[in-house]
Amino acid sequence: MEAIFEFLRSFWVVWLMGLFVGIVIWAYRPKRKAEMERYGRIPLDDDN
């Protein structure tokens, strides 16, 4: 039972790290640059 828990703990670390790397790659793709720059300017936009 202890071996199963250790395997699952390792699996979750690998899964979450892969998810994080995938999101970073998705966000920094050149195709998404204009959209991400627009999102970055949202706090600076004047709502008047």
Domain residue ranges of the chain, discontinuous segments joined by +: 2-43
| pLDDT score recorded for residue 48 | 59
- In the three-class reduction of DSSP (H, G, I as helix; E, B as strand; rest coil), residue 31 is classed as helix
Residue 6 has pLDDT above 70, yes or no: yes
pTM of the model: 0.60
Residue 25 has pLDDT above 80, yes or no: yes
Give dist(CA 17, CA 11) in Å, integer.
10
Cα distances (Å, whole numbers) of residue 9 to 4, 14, 20, 36: 9, 9, 17, 34
If one compares 14 and 21, the residue with the highest pLDDT of the two is 21
